[in-house]
Amino acid sequence: FWIKADDPLGASAVHGAAGFWGVFMAGLLNKETGGMPMQVAAQFIGLASVLAWSVCWSLAIWLPCKWMGIMRCPPEEEEIGQDVHLHGGSGYRYHMDALPGEVIETCSPRNLGVE
C-alpha cells in the first residue's frame, strides 16, 4: 500500500468502503428520486466532500505525529509485539509462543482489576 498505513482490522474497508457504498446506493435506489442524474450527482458530491474532509483532517493530525517520531514503537518492541511488551502475554490464541493457560490468564477479569 503506497501510504504504508497499518490497518490490521480492516477498518478502512468496513467503515470507509461500506459507508461509501451505502451512501451511493441510497441515492440510486431511493423510491422517490432514486436513479435520477441529479440525485446520483448529489450523492457523489456528498461522498467527495466526506472523503476530502477525512483526508485533510487525517493528514493534519497524523503527519505532524509522524514527523515528530511518535507514531512508531522501538524495533525490539515491534518484533515481540505490543501485547507481550506492554501486558506481559499474548492476546491471541493462535500466537505460536503462547500457552493456552497464558492466553486465558492474560484475558481474565482477574488481571483487569474487575471484581
Q: Which residues of the chain have pLDDT under 50?
A: 1, 103-106, 108, 114
Identify the pLDDT of residue 79: 79
- pLDDT, tens digit, for every residue of 59-76? 999 899 989 988 888 888
Q: What is the pTM of this model?
A: 0.59
Residue whose C-alpha cell reads 451505502 in the numeric block: 22
Identify the pLDDT of residue 42: 92
